[in-house]
Amino acid sequence: MKIKNICCIGAGYVGGPTMAVVAQKCPHIKVTIVDINESRIAAWNDEDLSKLPVFEPGLDEVVKEARGRNLFFSTDVDKAIDEADMIFISVNTPTKTYGKGKGMAADLKYIELCARQIAKISKSNKIVVEKSTLPVRTASAIKNILEHTGNGVQFQILSNPEFLAEGTAIEDLLSPDRVLIGGDNTIEGQKAIQALVDIYANWVPKERILTTNLWSSELSKLTANAFLAQRVSSINAMSELCEKSGADINEVAKAIGMDGRIGSKFLKASVGFGGSCFQKDILNLVYIAKTYGLKEVADYWEQVILMNEHQKKRFSDNIVNTLYNTVSGKKITFFGWAFKKDTNDTRESAAIQVADNLLSEQANILVYDPKVIEERIYADLDYLNSRTSEENRDLLKIKTNPYEASKNSHAIAILTEWDEFKTYDWVKIYNHMNKPAFIFDGRGILDMEELKKIGFVCYKIGSGSK
């Protein structure tokens, strides 16, 4: 089966970069990315590539090469579905905030809407690919909707989970360590799998393309993120013990990371993990385990989330305690709001909860992030409903310059590991601040000894001294 037209529903952090790379590497395939968000599509079509709605290093060059040739962005969802041989579903699957499974289960209403729209519009056979992170056996629900259209169209459902790390998404797409494709073990199902394998084989070595059944593919995504998040929470749990005992978490991480059975990745102690996947996927896993009556399994994975929340609260509590048990009326500067460097994504960013905790203590916060826009920061805070929008805007201000953000500040908190923070004139920043001037490095990127020489009082996660 040769694929000539691809439609991707959803122009966000997964759909946009993934389909841009597919278009770049497969100039013989027309790729159309659709979204009902008109402003987002307008941003993808903007001639100024710096205005792309998703920031990823290298994405602008990929879009520049393919856009207008065989890569298109549109709000005409029906037309793109009708023309497509293969449809990727890449819409948001947030954690439910209502009803059964509230706070744990994935909210599949956008997935269902996509399936119903595909069923309604399609006049020819289609391959439908799950790209969104989904709970196990979602494919059966999609298949049930599609197969009961009554219009005689045949659909094959594939699971093709993404394993992208934001900030390195383009690199991950161009040179993935594996591509996972799950489908039915039927003749037609295997043909559909091969059609997607053939697309990736345009640039991915075939030995890196793994095919499984649908359920294994869906569960593999949740499992991978759960294992990675568990490592972060494990090293963060040890960081607290290091602070109490006088050990240094970086030395401990290096020592255990040299063990070939463990490895060094995801052993960086920090204020906590964020992003759209880790927390959502683990909560999803917890919910699935509970629905099968696996209480101990659910409790085990839920502890990973609890440890992450504890680390964020511990960080903000330490700021309050160190600043003489009160931050009321004091200025606290945040360097970074994105959940990690090289992305403008703020979903589940540790900065949001740390800010909320400090604002509840009546602190005044000044935020500088090189890529996150003002509207996004305020939207993140407003979503918590901890206080009114007016109160958030009164207590928290956005700055476009790091030196301006640190002026008359009592403390600086590093919440994102942006490389540029290492290059600042810290003497100049110190001279701008109230004395004593404090630094709380929640990402472990600064040279504490050099900062102490300037005069800063320094706090580093996982070290017993300041």
| Three-class DSSP category at 456 | coil
Q: Following DSSP, what letter does each residue of 300-363 receive, concatenated?
A: HHHHHHHHHHHHHHHHHHHHHHHTTT--TT-EEEEE--SSSTT----TT-HHHHHHHHHHHTT-
Q: Are 454 and 234 in contact (CB under 8 A)?
A: no
Beta-sheet strands, E only, within 99-242: 126-130, 155-159, 179-183, 209-213
Residues, the chain, total?
466
- The residue behind tokens 């499974």 is 101
The candidate with the shortest Cα–Cα distance to 410, out of 333, 466, 336, is: 333
Catalytic (active-site) positions: 277
Number of Cβ within 10 Å of residue 140's Cβ equals 11
105-111 long-range contacts (CB < 8 A, ≥24 apart) are 105/135, 105/283, 105/284, 105/287, 106/133, 106/134, 106/135, 106/138, 106/280, 106/284, 108/134, 108/135, 108/138, 108/141, 111/138, 111/141, 111/142
| Three-class DSSP category at 408 | coil
Burial class (CB in 10 A: 0-12, 13-18, 19+), 201: middle
Q: Name the token pair of 50.
A: 């710096």
Question: What is the residue type of 187?
Answer: I
Please give the torsion angle defined by the CA atoms of residues 317, 319, 320 and 324, in that order, rounded to the nearest 10 degrees.
Answer: 140
Please give the torsion angle defined by the CA atoms of residues 171, 175, 176 and 180, in that order, rounded to the nearest 10 degrees.
Answer: 130
Cα Rg for the chain, rounded, in angstroms?
24
Task: With residue 139 as reference, give the H or E element that holds it.
Answer: helix 138-146
| Three-class DSSP category at 6 | strand
Q: Name the token pair of 182.
A: 């799950």
Q: Are 170 and 25 in contact (CB under 8 A)?
A: no
| Three-class DSSP category at 168 | coil
Number of Cβ within 10 Å of residue 24's Cβ equals 24
